[in-house]
């Protein structure tokens, strides 16, 4: 069986931990724990300024892994809820005590290619004011799909059965997660117009929003050379204190998520 490595990490300079999650598969939660352990082994706690969690162009994956990843950064509170036709009976998933980063500052990077499970993580950390979200608006894939086998080798039926909601009760579907700090990359001329995602509202047969306006896609380009990555470099500057923004660090007293 081929195992796809979904988590990669490194230290930026000698004071910031960088963790990139490319998808949410069976190994993601364990990969995240190892990444945090590796970083804390390399950088002393008093020297570690914080973490960059890169979820850009992450198309999503397993719900339980998104919950586990969110839980790694939270002490308590709701992470995500799903609501089907009977809105009075939502299913909610909550964090357990134990922030693996010991409450170090976190900046989450997202863009137009961040969808589904990655939006659940970004939404949970944003609503709890545990992290500042930086980049461009995410894809807006906030629907729960259930696969129903038809039997007798007749294939299966995929049904949209519910919607995902962030802890504050906001629907992700066809709206996405909006970053507190928007950073647009400088896209090469030959790629302009080709790297922006269309977003969930442009997908045929997508689930319509229940309230408000639908939002189309956004920029999804990531420069191959780190020195040209404006989003990452701004995150590093904020964590190191060489640049300031009212959105960082987030005001925990203004958390939108209900605490448990």
> Any idea which residues carry the catalytic annotation?
116, 127, 141
Contact (Cβ atoms closer than 8 angstroms) between residue 136 and residue 122: no
3-state SS, one letter per residue, for 160-228: EEEEEECCCCCECCCCCCCCCEECCCCCCHHHCCCCECCCHHHCCCCCCCCCCCCCCCCECCCCCCHHH
**Residue 71 phi, psi dihedral angles, 5° rounding:** -60, -30
Rg value, the chain, Cα: 18
How many C-beta atoms lie closer than 10 Å to residue 241's C-beta? 9
Q: For residue 211, give both structure tokens.
A: 């309230």
Q: Which residue has the tokens 């996405």?
A: 176
Q: For residue 183, give both structure tokens.
A: 């950073």
- Say if residue 218 is exposed, middle or buried (CB neighbours under 10 Å; 0-12, 13-18, 19+): buried
Q: Which residue has the tokens 């909601």?
A: 165
How many C-beta atoms lie closer than 10 Å to residue 198's C-beta? 12
């Amino acid at each position: 069986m081929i195992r796809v490595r979904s988590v990669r990490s490194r230290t930026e300079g000698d004071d910031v931990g960088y963790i990139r999650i490319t998808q949410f598969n069976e190994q993601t939660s364990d990969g995240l724990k190892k990444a945090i352990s590796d970083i804390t082994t390399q950088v002393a706690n008093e020297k570690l300024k914080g973490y960059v969690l890169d979820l850009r162009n992450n198309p999503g994956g397993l719900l339980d892994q998104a919950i586990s990843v969110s839980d790694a950064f939270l002490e308590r509170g709701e992470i995500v809820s799903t609501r089907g036709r009977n809105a009075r009976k939502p299913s909610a998933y909550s964090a357990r005590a134990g922030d693996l980063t010991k409450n170090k500052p976190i900046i989450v990077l997202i863009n137009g290619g961040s969808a589904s499970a990655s939006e659940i993580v970004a939404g949970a950390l944003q609503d709890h004011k545990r992290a500042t979200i930086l980049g461009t608006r995410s894809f807006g894939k906030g629907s729960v799909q259930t696969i129903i086998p038809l039997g007798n080798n007749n294939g299966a039926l995929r049904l949209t059965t519910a919607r995902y909601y962030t802890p504050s009760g906001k629907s992700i579907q066809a709206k996405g997660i909006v970053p507190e700090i928007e950073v647009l990359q400088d896209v090469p001329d030959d790629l302009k117009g080709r790297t922006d995602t269309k977003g969930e509202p442009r997908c045929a047969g997508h689930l319509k929003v229940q309230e408000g306006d639908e939002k189309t896609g956004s920029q999804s380009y990531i420069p191959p050379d780190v020195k040209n990555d404006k989003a990452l470099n701004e995150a590093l500057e904020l964590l190191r204190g060489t640049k300031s923004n009212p959105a960082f660090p987030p005001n925990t007293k203004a958390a939108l998520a209900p605490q448990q």
